[in-house]
Structure 1
């Protein structure tokens, strides 16, 4: 799923979320490192409509690589480091 052309965008999102403070501007609500970033913030970084970013983020949530958190009326996305490490181990073992 990460090897298709759209997968590069998903890999970029995962990379940016390793250090969100370095890749995204400050937010009005929520700490980027602790809470994550919104789909709108990711969309601006990717240069795509928010709905496109939400699709990419939704795929990453569905496969367990991102977690969500609701703050006020927005959803914030952050990496699930334990799940990412688990998936990496599966690939190392030749899964």
Structure 2
């Protein structure tokens, strides 16, 4: 099981990319940044990866890689609805990582 130190390092690596920072910022207020979805609520379920790719102006495989990195770092959580995957910020995990990061500074 990874230590909190490993988790912090993973989060720093995930945050070292402008596109991933943008995704996290947009997911903070999804209704302000994304159009409504056919399936799933933007806030309750998260934002479909297709919408994130569309807004970021990248291909589906590219955004999937960014979201995978954010997910592995514990910054976002993924939820399957039908054939879609929805992403939202893991606020509890982000708060825990922030606290751990501040201890290191």
Deviations 1:39-73 (CA, angstroms, capped at 9, x unpaired): 11101111010110010000001111111111111
* Correspondence 1:16 to 2:23: no
Partner residue, 1:67: 77
From 87, 92, 97, give the equivalent of 1:77: 87
What is the TM-score of this pair, normalised by structure 2?
0.84
Secondary structure of the structure 2 residue equivalent to 1:76: strand
Partner residue, 2:98: 88
CA distance in structure 2 between the partners assigned to 1:8 and 1:50 by the alignment: 17
Paired residues, number: 92
Structure 1 residue ranges, 4+ long, deviating more than 2 angstroms after superposition:
none
From 41, 48, 61, give the equivalent of 1:31: 41
What is the TM-score of this pair, normalised by structure 1?
0.93
1:13 CA displacement: 0.4
Secondary structure of the structure 1 residue equivalent to 2:44: helix
From 68, 73, 77, give the equivalent of 1:58: 68
Contiguous gaps of at least 5 residues in structure 1:
none
CA RMSD of aligned residues (A): 0.9
Higher relative contact order (CA 8 A, sep 6+): 2
CA distance in structure 2 between the partners assigned to 1:38 and 1:68 by the alignment: 9
Contiguous gaps of at least 5 residues in structure 2:
1-12
CA distance in structure 1 between the partners assigned to 2:80 and 2:35 by the alignment: 19
